Amino acid sequence: MTVQSKLSLPSHDLESKDPAIRRVLEGASKKLGFIPNMYANMVNLPPLLETYLYGYDKFRTKSGFNSVEQEVVLLTISYENSCHYCVAAHSMLADNVSKVPGDVTDAIRERRAIPDPKLAALSLFTAAMVTRRGWVEQHDTDHFLAAGFEEKHILAILLAISVKTISNYSNHLFDTPVDDIFKSREWHGKA
3-state SS assignment for residue 66: coil
Number of other residues whose CB lies within 10 A of the CB of residue 150: 11
- Grade residue 2 by pLDDT with cuts at 50, 70 and 90: low
3-state secondary structure 30-61: HHHCCCCHHHHHHCCCHHHHHHHHHHHHHHHH
CA dihedral 157, 92, 101, 107 (to 10 degrees): 70
Instruction: Establish if 29 belongs to a structural domain.
Output: no
**Chain center to CA of 15:** 27
Instruction: Establish if 109 belongs to a structural domain.
Output: yes
User: Residue 1: pLDDT above 60?
Assistant: no
Instruction: Establish if 141 belongs to a structural domain.
Output: yes
Angstrom distance (rounded) from CA 130 to CA 65: 18
- Structural domain harbouring 102: 65-185
11-26 mean pLDDT: 96
Instruction: Establish if 170 belongs to a structural domain.
Output: yes
CATH number at residue 154: 1.20.1290.10
What pTM does this model have?
A: 0.95
Residue whose C-alpha is closest to residue 63's, from 162, 132, 182, 137: 162
What pLDDT, in 10s, does the model give residues 68-124?
A: 999 999 999 999 999 999 999 999 999 999 999 999 999 999 999 999 999 999 999
Instruction: Establish if 55 belongs to a structural domain.
Output: no
Burial pattern 36-49, b for ≥16 Cβ within 10 A else e, equals: bbbbbbbbbebebb
Residue type, 68: V
Residue whose C-alpha is closest to residue 168's, from 6, 22, 73, 38: 38
Instruction: Establish if 14 belongs to a structural domain.
Output: no
Instruction: Establish if 103 belongs to a structural domain.
Output: yes
pLDDT of residue 53: 97
- Cβ-proximal residues to 156 (8 Å cutoff; 6+ apart), any chain: 59, 62, 63, 64, 65, 73
pLDDT of residue 34: 95
Instruction: Establish if 10 belongs to a structural domain.
Output: no
* Domain tally, the chain: 1
**Angstrom distances, CA of residue 43 to CA of 23, 54, 71, 98:** 10, 14, 24, 26
